[in-house]
Amino acid sequence: MQAETQSIVVISKDPAVCALVASVAQFQPGTGVKKCASALSEINGTALQLAKDNDLIIFRAGAEAATDAAAVKEMLRHTGGTARILALADTSMPFADLRLLTEAGVQDVLPETASADEMSAAIRKCLKAEEPQPLAGVSTRGSREGMVVAVSQSCGGAGATTLAVNLADCLTRRRGLRRQEAEFKVALLDLDLQFGAVGSFLDLPPNRCLYELASEGFVPDDVFAEQSMSEAALGLWVLAAPAEIAPLHALKPEQVQALVAHLRQQFDFVVIGLPRALAEWLTPVLEASERLLMVTGSSVPAITQARRLLDFYAEASMSLQTDIVISRERKPIVAASHHKEASKLLQKPFKYWLPNDPSAASAAVDRGVPLSAAAGRSSLAKAIRRLSRDLIETRKARAAAAQPQHGKAV
């Protein structure tokens, strides 16, 4: 028998919630579960005593998030900040209400539809924590300093979404038996607020998070950044564009800057799809980006538009490294004269080429999966993998340079 047991109290009127926690806790030796068929806001002093006498409080958030947040703050005050609290919330709860709970001191918020595995992981995280996590606004995650890669396009239909989706997928670098291990954790952020198609490429529903960010005007914290992402594949997390149409200027620079900063903390790579339009909030994205991939054709109109965008990007971030990606063309053995002229106009070489492979691209889009799953041996998939390898090597070189040098001083 264990010398010390851990106790969990479930505060909820829903017996299914109590049953789920009890079924999960039975696989954690030494953990007992108590049930309190009530709402957190209804038990007042009882909740304070429960928080003091037990290791973890799990409660079902009610319709009045402010009332629950006040009760959480009181429990933390009564226990000297040692209470560990986990909340279950309706999937339709606004992010503003979720922020109230996390700012009050809730360690984690799970959707009420959470699976047994998700519930088990959350409980283990809370019970194994030696000290409670600090309130929202103070990140407890290790700084990954993820590499930000922005993807832009000179004209519609250039293939920027195809590149962004499949580049992010390749950057996970899945390995092992049946590719069940991802070496890197990658975020894919669709900032084409009005016409972004990343979600449809991966068979994901539209995500209202960016719309709520634009309409409510708050600066996102790390909890918002984490909970707004949807897992599309092993190692790949996506923040898709919303279904609602919102003006590009509705987003503010400080909001986008904070969102990208939090994603950099949580992911090894952050791939950002940019709109083919200019907005004030593009500046913090470009300043955070280590690489910009300009996807364009080699026609005169496409190159002309690419030149205009590159001029704007250079003014926004003088240190930004930009690579030209020629779409729907196979790299020639000898550059044609119009390629040379176009490269001269852009003042940059054509570094990457994406061959025209409509059958592979269509197979992936129709199935709602990356090229790696639909046509992994296609010429298009191979070209994007080569690009991803260059970015991975760049990140590794940066990480190596950041390591302290050991040896004799010269």
Q: Looking at residues 372-383, what average pLDDT do you find?
A: 94
Q: What separation in angstroms does the CA of 279 have from each of 203, 250, 274, 310?
A: 28, 10, 10, 14
Tokens of 133: 């996590």
What are the tens digits of pLDDT across the range 133-166?
A: 433 333 334 456 899 999 999 988 889 999 999 9
For residue 74, pLDDT over 80 is answered with yes
Provide the pairing of β-strand 269-273 with 31-36. Answer: unpaired
Residue 326: strand, helix, or coil: strand
What are the tens digits of pLDDT across the range 284-316?
A: 999 999 999 999 999 999 999 999 999 999 888
- Tell me the percentage of the chain whose pLDDT exceeds 90: 48
Lowest mean pLDDT of 47-61, 125-139, 261-275, name the range: 125-139
The residues facing 327 across adjacent strands are 354
For residue 409, pLDDT over 80 is answered with no
CB burial readout 364-388, b (16+ within 10 A) else e: bbeeebbbbebbeebebbebbbebb
> What's the pLDDT at 29?
66
Average pLDDT for the chain: 86
- Tell me the percentage of the chain whose pLDDT exceeds 70: 90
> What's the pLDDT at 178?
67
Measure the CA–CA gap between 271 and 54, rounded to whole angstroms.
43
> What's the pLDDT at 128?
66
Question: What is the phi/psi pair of residue 216, to 5°?
Answer: -95, -20
For residue 131, pLDDT over 80 is answered with no
All domains of the chain in start order, with CATH: 6-128 (3.40.50.2300), 147-402 (3.40.50.300)
Most trustworthy range by pLDDT among 102-106, 121-125, 385-389: 385-389
Q: Looking at residues 13-20, what average pLDDT do you find?
A: 85
Place of tokens 């930004």: 320
Rg of the chain on CA atoms, in Å: 24
Using CB atoms within 10 Å of the CB of residue 237, give its burial: 0 to 12 exposed, 13 to 18 middle, 19+ buried: buried
The better pLDDT of the pair 401, 288 is held by 288
Q: In the sheet that 6-11 helps form, which strands lie side by side, from edge to edge?
A: 31-36, 6-11, 56-60, 85-89, 108-111
Using CB atoms within 10 Å of the CB of residue 337, give its burial: 0 to 12 exposed, 13 to 18 middle, 19+ buried: exposed
What are the tens digits of pLDDT across the range 237-274?
A: 999 999 988 888 889 999 999 999 999 999 999 999 99
Residues 269, 184: contact at Cβ < 8 Å? yes
